[in-house]
């Protein structure tokens, strides 16, 4: 375990060895990140740094995810603080931002209005606002903790003046329409929650995971709400889980929306679906 007086190099190698023996596959990467975030600038490391590193190792070996320990995770090149009420932003969700940029490239400098439903850390809305410099938007979440975290993340990433966050049940109380609606809703089948990886099951909020008996409860709510809040030329971009494309497309079509596009994530899975009104 790390001790004051050891060199940075020796400490990093020692941490990597501990993580390797614990069966963690990315032990080298995790050791480097822990050192970068917690060791400080001194070499050799001092007593406070050793204490921070030891505390982090104890938590990691107990199964707490790396980014939860560090309190923030990167998404779209930006840093997002985490809290108990938020999911960790994950690379697969960047597919939604890529998709928005692809479909709205010609409108990048327009004063678009955006809505992020189930905002969590605010990563989807905040990343979009960074890419669309004249846009503004609202993020909605049922968790007051998530709303507070997202508000802080907007300030952290320089878009506080263009982003507002509020607690709410999906689109209830929203009386305007938008050019872009984004959502990464809960889509895990309830009966599958217990079988999720420990890091997800024990540390991500259940409210943001549980999609009901068939994983589609949130999409039914979205299908009922989106048509009246999406502008005639607007787009709704939704994240989905594995194998949900056909079911979600059917729900949105029944609600009167047109399926425009399906986009794959880096793993090759359909991750983002694009909907709009008929021309």
**Together in a domain, 35 and 121:** no
**Together in a domain, 118 and 197:** yes
In this prediction the pTM is 0.94
Supply the Cα-derived Rg of the chain in whole angstroms.
Answer: 21
CATH number of the domain that 175 lies in? 3.40.50.150
Residue 56 lies in a domain: yes
Residue 172 lies in a domain: yes
Looking at residue 199, its pLDDT comes to 84
Q: What is the 3-state secondary structure (H, E, C) of 54-115?
A: HHHHHHHHCCCCHHHHHCEEEECCEEEECCCCCCCCCHHHHHHHHHHHHHCHHHCCCCCEEE
Domain encompassing residue 174: 74-276
**Together in a domain, 254 and 161:** yes
Residue 104 lies in a domain: yes
Looking at residue 11, its pLDDT comes to 94
Angle subtended at Cα 238 by Cα 228 and Cα 179, rounded to the nearest 5 degrees: 45
CA distance 132 to 40: 35
**Together in a domain, 99 and 29:** no
Residue 68 lies in a domain: no
Per-residue pLDDT tens over the stretch 47-105: 999 999 999 999 999 999 999 999 999 999 999 999 999 999 999 999 999 999 999 99
**Together in a domain, 84 and 49:** no
Q: How many domains does the chain have?
A: 2
End-to-end CA distance of the chain: 63
**Together in a domain, 204 and 105:** yes
Q: Which of 37, 62, 87 is the last residue of a domain?
A: 62
**Together in a domain, 36 and 137:** no
**Together in a domain, 52 and 156:** no
Residue 69 lies in a domain: no
Residue 107 lies in a domain: yes
CA distance 257 to 251: 9
Looking at residue 132, its pLDDT comes to 98
**Together in a domain, 42 and 88:** no
Query: Is residue 279 helix, strand or coil?
Result: coil
**Together in a domain, 92 and 168:** yes
Residue 196 lies in a domain: yes
Residue 15 lies in a domain: yes
**Together in a domain, 58 and 78:** no
Looking at residue 2, its pLDDT comes to 80
Query: Mean pLDDT of residues grouped by 10 in the chain (279 residues)?
Result: 86 95 94 93 90 95 95 97 95 97 97 98 98 98 97 98 95 93 96 90 91 96 96 97 97 97 96 95
**Together in a domain, 53 and 137:** no
């Amino acid at each position: 375990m790390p001790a004051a007086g050891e060199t940075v190099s020796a400490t990093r190698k020692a941490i990597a060895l501990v993580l390797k023996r614990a069966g963690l596959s990315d032990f080298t990467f995790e050791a480097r990140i822990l050192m970068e975030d917690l060791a400080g600038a001194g070499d050799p490391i001092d007593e406070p740094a050793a204490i921070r590193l030891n505390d982090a190792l104890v938590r990691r070996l107990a199964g707490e995810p790396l980014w939860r320990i560090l309190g923030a995770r990167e998404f779209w090149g930006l840093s997002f603080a985490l809290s108990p009420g938020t999911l960790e932003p994950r690379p697969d969700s960047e597919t939604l931002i890529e998709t928005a940029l692809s479909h709205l490239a010609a409108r990048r400098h327009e004063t678009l209005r955006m809505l992020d439903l189930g905002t969590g850390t605010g990563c989807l809305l905040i990343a979009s606002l960074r890419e669309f410099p004249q846009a503004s938007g609202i993020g909605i979440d049922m968790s007051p903790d998530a709303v507070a975290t997202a508000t802080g993340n907007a300030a952290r990433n320089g878009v506080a003046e263009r982003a507002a966050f509020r607690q709410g049940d999906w689109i209830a109380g929203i009386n305007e329409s938008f050019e872009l609606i984004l959502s990464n809703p809960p889509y895990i089948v309830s009966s599958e929650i217990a079988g999720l990886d420990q890091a997800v099951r024990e540390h991500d909020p259940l409210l943001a995971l549980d999609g009901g008996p068939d994983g589609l409860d949130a999409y039914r709510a979205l299908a009922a709400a989106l048509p009246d809040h999406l502008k005639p030329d607007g787009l709704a971009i939704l994240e989905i889980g594995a194998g949900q494309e056909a079911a979600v497309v059917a729900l949105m079509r029944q609600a009167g929306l047109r399926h425009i596009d399906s986009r794959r994530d880096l793993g090759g899975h359909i991750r983002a679906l694009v909907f709009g009104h008929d021309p």
